[in-house]
Amino acid sequence: MYSPSLVANSGGSSNNDNRLFVYEVVGLAKNGNTDNLNYPVRQGGSVFITVPYGRMNQEMRRLTRMGAKIVSIKPLNGEIPLQMTASQPTQQATKETEKGKSMTQAKAKAKGDIPVNIYRPNSPFIGKCVENYPLVGEGGSGIVQHLTFDLSGGDLHYVEGQSIGIIPPGTDDKGKPHKLRLYSIASTRHGDKKDDKTVSLCVRQLEYEHPETKETVYGVCSTYLCHLEVGADVAITGPVGKEMLLPEDEDANIIMLATGTGIAPFRAFLWRMFKEQHEDYKFKGLAWLIFGVPYSANILYKEDLEEIEKTYPDNFRLTYAISREQKNAEGGRMYIQHRVGEYAEELWKLMQNPKTHTYMCGLKGMEDGIDQALGAMAAQNGADWSEFQKQMKKEHRWHVETY
């Protein structure tokens, strides 16, 4: 079972070990739960608890279990607060509040307003897992989960196309705290509960055969997340990323090329375009998703995608490349680049429109095949693909996030 290792993971400096920290805690006194705490001092409703560095995680978990909220952590005799509580925003978030900006997620508009690094690795936000369900149907390959984290009590906000970092608990083989892993956000800025208080991810458990020992190896963070229990705490950083943002232009055309969990940012896009209602954003362009998966049971969010296709046939086009079930023109497996090749003429024409943005997300290996397919079409039209691609990048309408 997971036990978060938040503070020990965030410190980094070994001389922290002898230090004492003071937790300012609210929500304990009214429960009459203070009797068994170390050094409780009441002041204006808060309880102050001195905790040795080595017991910080344990104490934090204990307090959370008791329904208490840690509002600040400061070294005992030190001046610099250790920013790591769910309710304590980092300097950037504080600055935004000071400027009178609303902290709702709907606010970020111009690129300059895009929230980044509100929570950093040395002071992660502690969210709670409220949902973790499988996305792969029977007969599909691997484990892919949809996870939702509650962000209440903090200032973590984001926009579609960004990522968050997750710090898995524990240490690596060198005894160092695990580093964060990035995951594309799969929900809109309003979250799956539409209350601006959650963030969702779509995570595949990494599993591979060790090239020498032939043993099955499972990825640290993806395994942790895929098996995370509802109710468990999770250390979150970010948000980060400005590469995959959705243009505000309601008439834009959005080509989305996804493999596997690369669907995550596009789920956020499509939910914003079609599933949510906004006063200031009513999508009127064409959104075209070309989605590569191994089996039909691996089509993540299949029902939702097909429902959108049915409801908005003029604005949403859905194309699958199912490698183990469909054949390409040469009789081989149908990968995403084959579908892109099949539709290259239409895609090429669409890309000539300055309102068209093309996004690619998923496995790193997908880029070359897609370049080749579109390169051939560019050549047929007397153009050089890499030059055209450069031009699209310059115009901020070619967006790639592969991993």
- Residue ranges binding ligand FAD (CB under 6 A): 163, 181-184, 202-204, 206, 208, 211, 219-223, 261, 264, 401, 403
Give dist(CA 70, CA 84) in Å, integer.
9
CB of 354 to ligand FAD, least distance (A): 27
What beta strand segments (E) does 213-281 contain? Answer: 216-218, 233-240, 253-259
Q: Name the residue nearer to ligand FAD (CB basis): 45 or 137.
A: 137
Tell me the residue number closest to ligand FAD, measured at CB. 219
Catalytic residue among 129, 221, 226, 361: 361
Catalytic residue among 3, 248, 395, 403: 403
When the beta carbons of 154 and 262 are compared against ligand FAD, the nearer one is: 262
Sign of CA dihedral 107, 113, 114, 119: negative
225 annotated ligand-binding residue? no
Q: Is 183 a catalytic residue?
A: yes
CB of 148 to ligand FAD, least distance (A): 14
218 is known as an active-site residue: no
362 has binding-site annotation: yes
Give 392: exposed, middle or buried? Use CB within 10 Å, 0-12, 13-18, 19+. middle
Q: Which residues contact 86 (CB under 8 A, 6 or more apart)?
A: 69, 70, 125, 126, 127, 153, 154
Q: Two tokens at 144?
A: 């892919």
CA distances from 320 to 323, 325, 376 (A): 9, 11, 21
Residue with tokens 């200031």: 280
CB of residue 17 vs ligand FAD: minimum separation in angstroms? 26
Contacts of 35 (CB under 8 A, 6+ apart): none
Rounded CA-CA distance 143/203 in Å is: 8
The reply to whether 403 belongs to the active site is yes
Annotated binding residue at 260? no
Q: Note if 202 is an active site residue.
A: no
Shorter beta-carbon distance to ligand FAD: residue 183 or 288:
183
| Helix 366-380 vs helix 385-394: crossing angle, to nearest 10 | 110
DSSP label of 274: I
Q: Which is closer to ligand FAD, CB of 207 or CB of 309?
A: 207
Q: Is residue 293 part of an annotated ligand binding site?
A: yes
CB of 66 to ligand FAD, least distance (A): 31
**Nearest 10 degrees: Cα torsion 317, 323, 327, 329:** 70
Per the annotation, the verdict on 361 as an active-site residue is yes
Catalytic residue among 163, 184, 187, 222: 184
Closest approach, Cβ 6 to ligand FAD, in A, equals 17
Using the minimum distance from each CB to ligand FAD, give the nearer residue, 188 or 261: 261
Is 363 annotated in some ligand binding site? yes
Coil, helix or strand for 399?
strand
Q: Which of the following is catalytic: 53, 158, 183, 224?
A: 183
For ligand FAD, the closer of residues 114 and 182 by Cβ is: 182
Q: How far is the CB of 173 from ligand FAD (least distance, A)?
A: 10
Calculate the CA dihedral of residues 67, 73, 76, 78 and round it to 10 degrees: -170
294 has binding-site annotation: yes
| Residue 204, H or E segment | strand 198-204
Pick out the residues of the known binding site for NADP(+). Answer: 184, 204, 261, 293-294, 323-324, 362-363, 401
Pick out the residues of the known binding site. Answer: 184, 204, 261, 293-294, 323-324, 362-363, 401
Task: Name the residues annotated as catalytic.
Answer: 183-184, 361, 401, 403
